[in-house]
Chain A
Amino acid sequence: MTPATPTPLGHRARRFKPDRDVAEWHGAYRPYDLVKEFLIALVVVVIVVTGLAVIFSSPDDKPVTVKSWSAASPVDFAQTAATELDGSSGTATYGPPYNSTAGASQSIVGVSPESFFGVHHPIDTANDYVLAPLRTLPDRPDVQAAVDRYTTAPASQQAAWTAAYEKAVAKADASHGALVVPPGAYGPVGTIIGSLTSMARSGALDGALLSSRQFYGTDYTKPLLFIADGTYLADKAQAQHLSGDQWGMMNETGSFPGQAWLWLYTLWYQVAPINTSANADFQVWALMMVLTLVLALLPFIPGLRSIPRWTRVYRLIWRQHYRDLAAGSAS
């Protein structure tokens, strides 16, 4: 910026810059009814919106519940439950804000805000998703005995059981409705996961997973993350063109436009090297924060603020004004 120059009138003077300053308008004025314009615009918007609502309605696909998931895909449910029990699921290894898994936090040049803020919504997947719900089952001494046997066993034994179960459940049969897992050396894990599957199919697990223990609850973090750890939700999303490599969450089910304004945010997830980076989410957010700041502060950034003048699109916007100027009638 050119330094200000004091003037005798107590004003500062500086050189005129066309991308920062304007000359005061001394030209013609014309009648312009703002209220009428607004009301006409409102009527037009109401008509357009009503037409779109009548023709296209709005999407409302039923949510996936633990009950519907375990009924539609019991093998996927059982496999997911086993990974929650042995601590190898997506949620169990997520890191902050759900748990403190070492090395799970995303960072850029060593800066990791999620590590700084730490665990705020603690989830112990083995206990919250599997063992604690089973403890609520009344009149099931066999289940309580299996849970007791599992929880009192050494960690190495627990790992051996869950590994054996995960191997066996991959060959499980659910073609007749019930989950039938081939026999194996998985100790009490078969009873645990089998009982949890039955509980899920009855609908009891949906309520047991709600984060709030009050009568009223609105926090669905635990059931949502549990469902998202399986492949059932992702398969449904894939079929509805909603997965990450299909421009993800900016879309909606069906052919609705969704959040099209998130196109730039979603774009970065398709671009190398971000699309293969372990820190992709933080990189995309950092990039978008910088770009948003640049957009907001555009008037202060030399070069960028000159783009409108260079591109001359304004000649199209104010073409009548420039015609009037050429004809000598604008001022």
Chain B
Amino acid sequence: MSIDTRTPVESPDEDAADRPEDAAQWSARLRHSAVDALPPERLMPDRQPSYVASWIYVFGVLTLSALVVVIVTGIALSVMGPQWWHVSTTGLFVNSLHLWSVEVFFFTMIIHLWGKFFMAAWRGKRRATWITGVVSFVVSVGAAFTGYLSQQNFDAQWISTQAKDGINSTGAGAIFNVTNFGQMLMWHIVLLPLVVVALVGLHVLLVRLRGVVPPFAPPGQTGVDVVRESAAPESAPPTVTNGERP
């Protein structure tokens, strides 16, 4: 058996150039696809088109920041267990941080959503970005809702006994029992946060992939008359439709 004494390559390009026999590997192909779609300069750019100059753009990153605070305070509550904040002033304060970070999260997310609506931010092959944003919002509503159900106080009792009627009417009550505290807590601290984080991560990657949507052309101008679309997959750079391809 021969031993390959070459040192490990340092970059994907060298890998492809030096070891063509490895190019068919699933790992190599996945890496090349990822780097082709999102090279570092697109994943973490240091310049943006000049039209990215409005306070409305801040609300996306504010939403992300609030989500970070929601997760960190939620982890702190998880460390001490669900009873802690009812019997400890420190716990009550952490719960208050968690509650208000959720309020800020939704406040900024809804402004972000309306801002993107009025920009028609789905234009130029950005439909998936819009859809993942809307689905993130909907799943976040579920995550917050199960949090309210997991409070173990009067609010949780009232909200669960009221909400059960709507959920039962859809048939979902057969498996999603809002009056089962243990089930709601698991959905709140494990299942739904995983989905929210995955969706938000995908949403941010799509934003970086497609770039920030350009403004509408001024009235009377369209900029172009015909859109040419490549037969290549969605991820390939389109000929005309993409906004951030300097």
Contact = CB atoms under 8 A, between A and B. Distances in A.
Interface of A: 4, 7, 9-16, 18-25, 27-35, 37-38, 41-42, 44-46, 48-50, 52-54, 56-64, 96-97, 106, 113-114, 116-118, 120-121, 218-221, 224-225, 227-228, 233, 236-237, 240, 242, 244, 248-249, 252-253, 256-257, 259-262, 279, 281-282, 284-285, 292, 295-300, 305, 307-309, 311, 313-314, 317-322, 324-325, 330
Question: For A49, A221, A252, which residue has the most chain B Cβ atoms within 10 angstroms?
Answer: A49
Nearest to A265: B166
Main DSSP-derived SS at the B contact region: helix
Contact of B155 (A41, A221, A253, A307): A253
Nearest to A216: B182
Interface string B203-230: 0000000000111111000111111111
A23 B229 contact: no
A242 B231 CA distance: 56
A261 B141 contact: yes
A63 to B, nearest CB: 5
16 contacts: A13-B229, A15-B225, A15-B227, A22-B242, A54-B93, A56-B96, A60-B95, A97-B168, A114-B174, A220-B179, A224-B157, A225-B179, A227-B157, A249-B163, A296-B138, A307-B117
Interface in B99-113: 99-101, 103-104, 106, 110
Interface stretch (B5-13, B26-34, B57-65, B187-195): B57-65
B25 interface: no
Given A64-B157, A249-B158, A314-B119, A49 B86 contact: no
Interface string B45-75: 1111111111010100110111011000000
B246 A29 contact: yes
A326 to B, nearest CB: 8
Interface residues of B, number: 109
Interface of B: 44-54, 56, 58, 61-62, 64-66, 68-69, 85-86, 92-93, 95-101, 103-104, 106, 110, 115, 117-120, 122-124, 126-127, 130-131, 134-135, 138, 141, 144-145, 148, 151-163, 165-175, 177, 179-183, 185, 213-218, 222-231, 239-246
